[in-house]
Structure 1
Amino acid sequence: MASPAPDTAAPVAPVASVAPVDERLPLPRLAPLAFQHLLAGIAAPVSSVILIGTTLSLSASRTASLLSATLVLCGVGALLQSLGIRALRIGARLPFLMLPGGAAVAIFLQVAKEHGPATASGSVLIAAVFLILVLPLYGRLVRFFPPLVMGTTVVLIGINMIKITAPMIASGPGLGFATLGITALFFLVLRGVWRQMSVLFGLVGGTVVAAVGGTAFHLAHGSTFALPEPFPYGTPHFDLLAAVPLLVFALASLAEATGQTVLNSEAVGRTPDAARDVPRISRADAVASLGAGVFGTSLMVTSAENIGIVQLTRVRSRFVTAGAGVLLIVCGLITPLTRLLAAIPEPVVGAAGLIIYAVIATMGFGMLSRENLGHGTNGIVVALALCVGLLPVFAPEMYAGLPVWARTVFGSGVAAGALAAVVLAAVFGRLGPKEERAGQERAGQEKDEAGAGTEVGPAR
């Protein structure tokens, strides 16, 4: 009997599974998902830039150009974070968006009001370079910004900016309060991704009320497509002391990026690796912020606002946020859209800004509420830091007799309060009563075990 023929078929190679975060979707499916992420992210740059333009009394055409630049930078940042540049270790290759953070805009405006917009642009460039330089020290620096320090800093940012924003409503109180009411109504009735756009809808609603009431609008004219204008305030002015608030924010952003990384990684099913991903995230932030300094806007920071969409749709692909980045760039280059948004009246913008910064302050209080302030040293650290940070708000003249460098540092409520919180937290943490330090260490361990470290801070 003949022996059976040998099996000459080649072995079948196992098919490599693609991680959900690396899944490439067909365009018909990717486009609507990318548009959802666009909706989640576009409110922040629109409201922030209109607030900058109104606060600095920029012309309609200059504000439109600034908005165009910011939208393009948001898109470029989303591409950097979603696709990454492996050779340069830029971008985490996670579904992140990049936006002008509320706190960063607040500090930018504070520097611009005190030292001029050219100095504010120079400070953004200084902070971006500084962030790149300190990244190798990430592990050592992040411990100086625990939730106690970040919560205090966020509260001070919100209160300082409320003082600047509130007078904008005074030019049209009725219109401002109407905008507040419309925004609150949208927050009440909307859900999901639409609710994230309540401030933007409030801006639109307030503008409609203004139009019905006969308010004159000043629309800039120009071509349909145009590139953003570099150096809108002239040559940037570099003042290291004036840049201190943004330098403090840049350091604090490392601590917040840690929480962002853990949250996003877990949402897409990737094992969190902060030591690898946080420097890459912050490096992309710094690259986009260099562009922000050139085009006259605030520091750009990675945001996890869109993570709710990831969890809602269960689509974890980073190519979806890359698609949203492309859409943001296109929106930035369509100048009629940016000119229309830039024409929103000042009281409407002031009301939207008031909501944004009041929410920032509230989030800061929320961060502090998770700390034990009832007894021990935490309460006195927050109290003293708030004293230092609020004195320039309520009694700015008290530093008039100090040298220029001291007025620059202590006259800025955010910088002074943040530095005080860092120093006080470190000193009390090292030299405070042993019993309290041991209790704080146990509380920190319990929070870690409960997963509290995955929460995302709002300062970005």
Structure 2
Amino acid sequence: MDPDPATHSVDTRLPAWQQVLFGLQHVLSMAASPVTAVFLVSRMLSLPGDMTVHLIGATFFVCGAGTLLQSLGAGPIGARLPFVMVPGGAPAMLFAVIATQTDLRTAAGAAILTSLFYWLVLPVFARCLRFFPRVVVGTMLVLVSVSLIKIYAGIVVGQPGTPAFARPLSLGLAVVTIVATIAVARLFKGTVGRLAVLLGLVVGTLAGWAVGLMPAAGLWDGPLFTLPALLPFGMPRFDVLAALPMLIFSVISMAEATAQTVAVGEITGKPIDMRRDVPRTIRGDALASLVGSLLGTSLIITSAENIGVVQTTGVRSRYVTATAGAMLMVVALFAPLGRLAYAIPAPVVGGTALIVFAMIGVMGINLLGKVDLHARGNQYTLAAALVVGLIPILVPNVYASFPGAGADRSR
């Protein structure tokens, strides 16, 4: 049945099989983020294997629940836009640093405090939204794109000084994934063309399996089902001073949520009311982060990579991302699915991410194209934002002497 032409594409329900396929595309595009975030914390804190598995399941579960909340909404909470939630790399690093300097209970308390801090600061932040014109939002998207491309290029090439650094095989897998994605998008129309990201990832994964980089062994090791545990680190401790780096990050996160809400509105053609929709997005982030912190995760935030998927595929329905949220909750409960997602070769994940994050930069450029850059004020605003945003990307240790600089704030 054809969708009602009076219904906006964001609010259109697709046939069930299309929602499942497009939802799976979102899941595979973000699946590396929960696993990577948990393994980062696990390695830094030397957590036991069984706790790591449980935290992976809890993270997938909260990401799924948060995705459902942002996609469908509940009163004044949730954007009702095609968002998918992930554990950000920066808050995961901050969580690990706080736990290293204090203990896990204090880190969990910091995550809870920050989740509540969102609610406290939001009324003030909402009054500042008029200071986010297109030139600011467009610049933020370009900078986010450049930062994320740098991070995921590192996933493709590996760490300098290691034997695996810049291996031709890794670069080749990333290129195969990117070329397959572009080829499907360019050569096919309709549903197949919109599945370009998923099909490119499948082609890259099959290529990785063919060259022995994706072993099937281990998928069925360990428990089949996992359930998130409440307060897995024990009763949290609340230390505002220890939580300060995460509290500061929450303000940055709110600014990013603003840019992402505006970007999704631009992509989908859905009119965005800044005073209504941005606070809804931030409340969704805050509630998902609060639930996650009670289950042992760090902050849960809206996903930039999935905004790129919406831009790349043109599938705008929030019911697709809601389906992805339900899938993430299934992945959380059925442990082998999480292990399968983790088994996808890193160069394939990186190659998929590179093309998706580049699309975020395209969104930013598109927004900047609508700005009058002949106006002197806009010129200086753009120039200043580029300087401030690019310096930490191009000179990573520029803030090395600042307090709390051990936590990398890149995502």
Q: Common fold, TM-score beyond 0.5?
A: yes
Q: Is the 8 A contact 2:129 2:275 kept in 1?
A: no
Partner of 1:257: 261
- Give the C-alpha shift of residue 40 in structure 1: 4.8
Q: Deviations over 1:208-258 (max 9, x none)?
A: 323322336363522222124677899798432354344212134235435
Point out where structure 1 has 5 or more consecutive residues left out of the alignment.
Answer: 1-18, 415-460
1:240 to 237, 244, 250: 244
Are the equivalent residues in 2 in contact too, given 1:131–1:251 (CA < 8 A)?
A: no
Contact 2:134/2:368, CA 8 A, preserved across alignment: yes
Q: Which of 165, 184, 198 matches 2:179?
A: 184
- Per-residue CA shift, 1:258-281, capped at 9, x if unaligned? 5656987x76xxx97664554344
Q: Residue 38 of structure 1 contacts residue 328 of structure 1 at CA under 8 Å; is this kept in 2? A: no
Contact kept, 8 Å, 2:64 with 2:326, in 1: the verdict is yes
Whole-angstrom CA distance in 1 between matches of 2:177 and 2:138: 29
| Aligned equivalent of 1:39 | 24
In the alignment, structure 2 segments of 5+ residues that lack a partner are: 1-5, 159-163
Change (3 A) 1:200 1:156: same
Alignment partners' CA distance in 1, 2:142 and 2:250: 16
Gap change, CA 1:412 and 1:334, over 3 Å in 2: closer
Is contact 1:257–1:278 with CA below 8 Å preserved after alignment?
Answer: yes
Contact 2:83 2:321 in 1 (8 A): no
Structure 1 or 2, whichever has the larger Rg, is 1
Partner of residue 368, structure 1: 368
Query: Secondary structure in 2 aligned to 1:300?
Result: strand
Q: How does 1:409-424 map to 2 (within 5 A)?
A: none
Alignment partner of 2:208 out of 201, 210, 233 = 210
CA-atom RMSD, angstroms? Answer: 4.7
| Selected match of 1:77 from 41, 62, 66 | 66
SS in 2 for 1:241: helix
Partner of 1:300: 301
Q: Across the two proteins, how many residue pairs are aligned to each other?
A: 376
The aligned counterpart of 1:105 is 88
Is this contact kept in 2: 1:34–1:323, CA < 8 A? Answer: yes
**Aligned counterpart, 2:389:** 389
Change (3 A) 1:216 1:304: closer
Aligned to 2:144: 157
Cα-to-partner distance string for 1:353-397 (whole Å, 9 max, x where unaligned): 444444434433343333233551322332233223333333345
Higher relative CO (Cα under 8 Å, sequence separation at least 6) belongs to 2
The alpha carbon displacement at 1:342 in A equals 0.9
User: Equivalents in 2 of 1:116, 1:108: separation in Å?
Assistant: 12
Q: Is the 8 A contact 2:140 2:256 kept in 1?
A: no
- The 5 A counterparts of 1:109-128 are 111=94, 125=112, 127-128=114-115
Secondary structure of 1:239's counterpart equals helix
Q: Which secondary structure does the structure 1 equivalent of 2:372 belong to?
A: coil
Tell me how far 1:339 sits from its aligned partner. 0.9
**What is the percent sequence identity of the aligned residues?**
30
| Contact 1:142 1:251 (8 Å CA) reproduced | no
Give the stretch that moved more between structures: 71-80 or 335-344. 71-80
1:371–1:47 CA distance, 2 compared to 1 (3 A): farther
Measured in 2, the distance between the counterparts of 1:81 and 1:398 equals: 35
Q: What is the CA–CA distance in structure 1 between the aligned matches of 2:195 and 2:52, rounded to whole Å?
A: 21
Change (3 A) 1:110 1:324: closer
Cα deviation for residue 185 of structure 1 reads 1.8
Q: Shift in Å at residue 404 of structure 1?
A: 1.8
- Return the alpha-carbon distance in structure 1 between the equivalents of residues 391 and 301 of structure 2: 29
Q: What residue number does 1:219 align with?
A: 218
Taking the aligned partners of 2:263 and 2:150, their CA distance within structure 1 comes to 30
